[in-house]
Structure 1
């Protein structure tokens, strides 16, 4: 069976944890932060897990990560 190519844009956006869960960074941090509360901007720094509905689809495009 041939190797599967990794989607490079997805490889930069997602990581796998040791247990195999896929993590992502939160959206809304790049601009328009002046109108957001400091607490909400601080919470955007933390990563979060990908939803279970998307996990199978994303794991197919980052097979070796």
Structure 2
């Protein structure tokens, strides 16, 4: 059986933590930033963890079983 390829887009967007959780970046922080408050932009800067509802789908894209 052939190897399963990792999705290249997912590879660039997600990162694994040391404990096996998957980190992600927040959306809405790439453009049209002038109308957003400093507090909102600052909070979008931090990384977040992938929610349980999406975890299975993201793990499949990253070829993690």
Give the structure-2-normalised TM-score.
Answer: 0.89
- Secondary structure at 1:23's aligned position in 2? strand
Write out the 4+ residue segments of structure 1 that deviate beyond 6 Å after TM superposition: none
Structure 1 residue 50: Cα displacement = 0.6
The 2-side partners of 1:34 and 1:49 are apart by: 27
Structure 1 residue 32: Cα displacement = 1.3
CA RMSD of aligned residues (A): 1.2
Structure 1 residue 3: Cα displacement = 1.6
> Unmatched 5+ residue regions in structure 1?
none
The 2-side partners of 1:11 and 1:25 are apart by: 13
> Unmatched 5+ residue regions in structure 2?
none
Give the structure-1-normalised TM-score.
Answer: 0.89
Q: Within the alignment, does 1:50 sit opposite 2:50 as a pair?
A: yes
Q: 1:1-65, aligned counterparts within 5 Å?
A: 1-63=1-63
Q: How many residues align structurally?
A: 64
